[in-house]
Amino acid sequence: MSGKPNHYSIKHPVIADPNINEDEWENFWQDAVNGTIFNSLRFLSYHAPERFNTHHLTFRRNGNLVGLLPAVISEAEDGAKTWISHPGASYGGPVWSPSLRYHHLESLLDAMINYAHDIGINQIRLTPPPVIYNKFPEQQLDFALQRKGFEVVRTELTQGVRLDIPEDELLGSFVNKTRTAFRRAEKLGLKFRVIENPTQAEFDRFWEILVENRAGLGVTPAHNRKEIELLHNLVPENLMMAVVEYEGQIISLIWNFGCNSRTVLEFYMAHQEPFQKLRPVPFLTYHS
């Protein structure tokens, strides 16, 4: 977190506002420059209220909503307080309006920093989404954050593929090894199915495969069985569960988040090891 914001004259500066209107918030993130499903209050509500010390913030200019910050406050043993992008989401904010010019974006950050000082925050940690999630391929927020004294403390690799490839060219875009695996799966009779309204039995099978697969990698899923089902009830329009079946049995799965109108995040992909020879993952990748 930077020490002090810049002080310069700006007409109609951005003002921090801790008052949250949920409907207004939900409508805003969907049209924001860098809004994702992870900014949705409906999405974040899958966490138990007592799990985090939630402290969200909105930003206004001329009374109009121009930014959001979904966040929580974490307090260390020594009493130091850190304001953090919500740890129950892959990416956070600040989320900002395409109506803002660059100097307004800096004004928004000034408002955020001033507000943090006013409520006794010692540090701010933010996790903005990679630029691939943005409405426009620009990095104004990254630049503005560094201008305000923020430092990059962790960088992760993000990979992406275009989804506008014509279907008749899709298989040809795969490497030869993957094309061969897909054709083998097709010949063996594997079936792809999107599950729009999962049954309890389908949730159970999904969870069984996911846990078994992650255990083989020495990790556990980021969500528990109850949370996966709850998310399907909270934001069904933003989730896609699909499976590959062999002789009527689910052997592989994928769980995608529709993050916004431009970007889909593959959150989980898993298969059962005994069926690996059937090559279900390339088959699943192609169809999903």
pLDDT tens-digit series, residues 38-86: 999 999 999 988 999 999 999 999 999 999 999 999 999 888 999 999 9
| Spatial strand order in the sheet of 71-75 | 71-75, 81-85, 123-125
pLDDT of res. 183: 92
Contacts of 145 (CB under 8 A, 6+ apart): 109, 126, 128
The pLDDT, as a whole number, for residue 73 is: 96
Q: Regarding the domain delimited by 15-147, which CATH topology (the fold level of the hierarchy) does it fall under?
A: Aminopeptidase (3.40.630)
Cβ partners under 8 Å of residue 213, min gap 6: 270, 271, 272, 273
Give the per-residue pLDDT at 262: 92
Contacts (Cβ under 8 Å, ≥6 apart) of 231: 43, 46, 223, 239
Q: How far apart are CA 89 and CA 80, in angstroms?
A: 23
Residue extents of the structural domains in the chain = 15-147, 167-287
- What is the number of residues in the chain? 288
Question: Which tens digits make up the pLDDT trace of 189-225?
Answer: 999 999 999 999 999 999 999 999 999 999 999 999 9
Cβ contact 148:113 at 8 Å: yes
- Write out the CATH class of domain 167-287: alpha beta
Note whether 121 and 156 are within 8 A (CB).
Answer: no
E strand spans, 39-148: 57-61, 64-69, 71-75, 81-85, 95-96, 123-125
57 and 17 Cβ atoms separated by less than 8 Å: yes
**What is the C-alpha separation between 164 and 218, in angstroms, rounded?**
35
Give the pLDDT confidence score for residue 9 in this predicted structure: 60
Question: What are 191's strand-pairing partners?
Answer: 245
- C-alpha to C-alpha distance for 77 and 212, rounded to whole angstroms: 37
pLDDT value of position 6: 53
For residue 194, count other CB atoms closer than 10 A to its CB: 12
Same CATH topology for 15-147 and 167-287? Answer: yes
Low-confidence residues of the chain, pLDDT below 50?
A: 1-3
Is residue 251 within 8 A of residue 245, CB to CB? The reply is yes
Q: What is the pLDDT of residue 2?
A: 44
> Token digits for 68?
């959001």
